[in-house]
Amino acid sequence: MSTDKVLSSPSFTMDGQIRKLNGDGFNLYQYPDYETYKEIQQEGNRRKIDWQFVPQSHIALCAKFVEDTVGPVRFGLCHGTRSGAEQSWFSEALSGKPEVLGTEISDTAKDFPNTVQWDFHDANPDWKGKADFVYSNSWDHAFEPLRAFSSWLESLRPGGVMLLDHTAGHVARKANQLDSFGIKRGRFQRLLRTEFGATAEPMDPLDFTTANPDYPAHVLVMRKR
Ligand SMILES: C[S@@+](CC[C@H](N)C(=O)[O-])C[C@H]1O[C@@H](n2cnc3c(N)ncnc32)[C@H](O)[C@@H]1O
């Protein structure tokens, strides 16, 4: 099957198995049903509830880029936020401490401020066209990544930016049942441009690998048209 078709077509397996699809530059896990996917994510969330993946130093760099690019921020969204650190770090780093909400699929969301229990694949009508920026380092937990990115872009106002971290942990071979999607950076850039170029303009990726050795990341950026 053509690999991009795998990314766009319904993704549940028909035989009750969890299966890894090997694509061109990416790997994607498929689940027998949504409940299995959600159960795996909730179990991973609870097991790692005290872990923090992204450091504050990276969020500070992203916040500066956002403010320099879009101007004053009134509302932002972060997706897959576990204990809610990144949304509070964004808010602190941005002028006027704007509202920044995080989504989290796990019911542990209720334990953390500014965190909404919400599956990030789903577009939230309350957020449509409202966000000045969307940020995620958790897109590799998507089982339908194109649906997730489409929902995130829908929540941006014209001129708003979507920031997606790409680290050594986001490459194809790192995909597993919990981190369901992994993709090479260049392939990821091409995919975003091909699938969403009409809605959002790809900007030059941010290279923070030297600026922040604590969290060597590139950040892929799409700006809503
Ligand atoms: C690797 S952790 C990253 C957490 C946080 N961003 C950090 O930097 O520490 C991924 C988080 O995304 C959550 N998640 C997974 N799938 C999700 C989904 N479909 N919608 C919302 N959150 C999801 C997981 O429960 C987990 O807490």
Q: What is the pLDDT of residues 154-196, one digit of tens each?
A: 999 999 999 999 999 999 999 999 999 999 999 999 999 999 9
What pLDDT shows up at residue 7? Answer: 82
Of 50, 63, 48, 11, which Cα lies nearest the Cα of 33?
Answer: 11
Distance 140 CA to ligand 1 centre (A): 9
Mean pLDDT of the chain: 96
Q: Specify whether domain 53-172+184-224 bears CATH 3.50.50.60.
A: no
pLDDT range class, residue 3, cuts 50, 70, 90:
low
Q: Determine the pLDDT at residue 197.
A: 98
Report d(CA 38, CA 32) in Å as an integer: 11
User: For 13-33, b where at least 16 C-beta lie within 10 A, e where not — what string?
Assistant: eeeeeeeebebebbbbbbbee
Residue type, 120: F
pLDDT at residue 2 tops 60 = no
Asked whether the predicted pLDDT for residue 1 surpasses 60, the reply is no
Phi first, then psi: give them for residue 111, nearest 5 degrees.
-85, -5
Whether the pLDDT of residue 8 is over 80: the answer is no
The response to whether residue 151 sits with its C-beta less than 6 Å from ligand 1 reads no
pLDDT at 10 over 90: no
Ligand 1 centroid to residue 77 C-alpha, Å: 13
Task: Give the pLDDT confidence score for residue 14 in this predicted structure.
Answer: 86
Ligand 1 binding pocket includes 218 (Cβ within 6 Å)? no
Residue type, 97: K
The conformational region for residue 16 under phi > 0 = left, psi -120 to 50 = alpha, else beta, is: left
Average of pLDDT values for 75-97?
Answer: 98
Q: Is 54 in the pocket of ligand 1 (CB under 6 A)?
A: yes
Q: What percent of the chain has pLDDT over 90?
A: 95
pLDDT of residue 112: 98
Average pLDDT of the segment spanning 126-153: 98
Q: Is 81 in the pocket of ligand 1 (CB under 6 A)?
A: yes
Residue 103 Cβ < 6 Å to ligand 1:
yes
The confidence band for 5, taking pLDDT boundaries of 50, 70 and 90, is confident
